[in-house]
Chains A and B, each alone.
Chain A
């Protein structure tokens, strides 16, 4: 049996932003208010960065891709559907940008750990230690890249099956199949010492 704890705080980092507020900020940005987009950046950059960090395993790459993602979002802001949460749109753009980033950089394996360039700080040490005990670390080592992405969107970002499918550009049935397969693989890996 797995040791299960309940998360002490809600996962959604941007829970304070409602869709109507976001839509208002988007409208103001399109009307030429630069401050409005700055608010959107501050609101969503931590969560986007966390997602991209999971994909890239590199702070520099994650920041680079996050910047490209926001620039693309800004340029195509008129295409944003105000019925959807802004973060879902950002995750969709970010995921595609990350894939292109790796294609351009000709990195065949995006999950390779970056070599530490200098001695890690105590904060980084704590983060690495924490991550080594994390189930996601295990998931990364056993799941194919796309299955990991889907699992992260579904449980790490806590998206619904439908939203996961939309962000990943897959059908809902396919997402369900991937989740089922990945869950089985993870359970098997946990059961094996």
Chain B
């Protein structure tokens, strides 16, 4: 343990003592003015939580789409080419093609509510735009351009 310097101790005690003597009186009515100002201020916490919910929903939808795309591409890469599974593939195709719609329906109600609040308008627009771009990207890159003829009209599109 380092020995304390008496001069330093004296100085610190005097600083504490002198600080206690400084008690500037707050201007009259300051607390009331502060309280009034805070009453006019909005607490952003609930809005923040709503935005987080929408963001998480979109992330979840994109994640699900990505997982399906990975499964789909793995099946095509790993399986023998002479062994097609048209029913399963058709189901996957229909699910994947409905992903943009899923993303839209999961985000739209929240986004619409958010758009009514001006400060969040830009965030919500960006969020929806990102979600659509991501879904379109996945659809373009992972979906086959022409599904098997027997399943050319998937139920998700009808």
Contacts and interface: CB of A to CB of B under 8 A. Distances in A.
A41 B11 contact: no
Contacts of A38: 31, 35
B85 interface: no
Interface string B3-39: 0000110111111111111111111001101110111
B24 A127 contact: yes
- Among B10, B13, B26, B45, residue most surrounded by chain A Cβ atoms (within 10 Å): B26
Contact of B14 (A54, A62, A135): A135
Contacts of B82: none
Interface in A30-47: 30, 34, 37-38, 41-42, 45-46
Contacts of A156: 15-16, 19, 22
Contacts of A9: 20
A34 to B, nearest CB: 6
A62 B30 CA distance: 10
Contacts, number: 123
B74 interface: no
Interface string A167-193: 000000000000000010011001000
Nearest to A1: B10
Contact of B7 (A2, A42, A62): A2
Interface stretch (A16-24, A67-75, A94-102): A67-75
Q: Using C-beta atoms within 8 Å of the partner chain, give the interface range for chain A.
A: 35 or more
Contacts of A155: 12, 15-16, 19
A87 interface: no
A50 interface: yes
Contacts of A59: 24, 27
B38 A187 contact: no
B145 interface: no
- Among A5, A11, A78, A155, residue most surrounded by chain B Cβ atoms (within 10 Å): A155
B19 A11 contact: yes
B43 interface: yes
Nearest to A59: B27
A115 interface: no
A4 B26 contact: no
Given A41-B35, A78-B45, A63 B18 contact: no
B31 A45 contact: yes
B24 to A, nearest CB: 5
Interface of B: 7-8, 10-27, 30-31, 33-35, 37-39, 41-45, 48
Interface of A: 1-9, 11, 30, 34, 37-38, 41-42, 45-46, 49-50, 53-54, 59-60, 62-63, 66-67, 70-71, 74-78, 123, 127, 130-131, 134-136, 139, 151-152, 155-158, 183, 186-187, 190
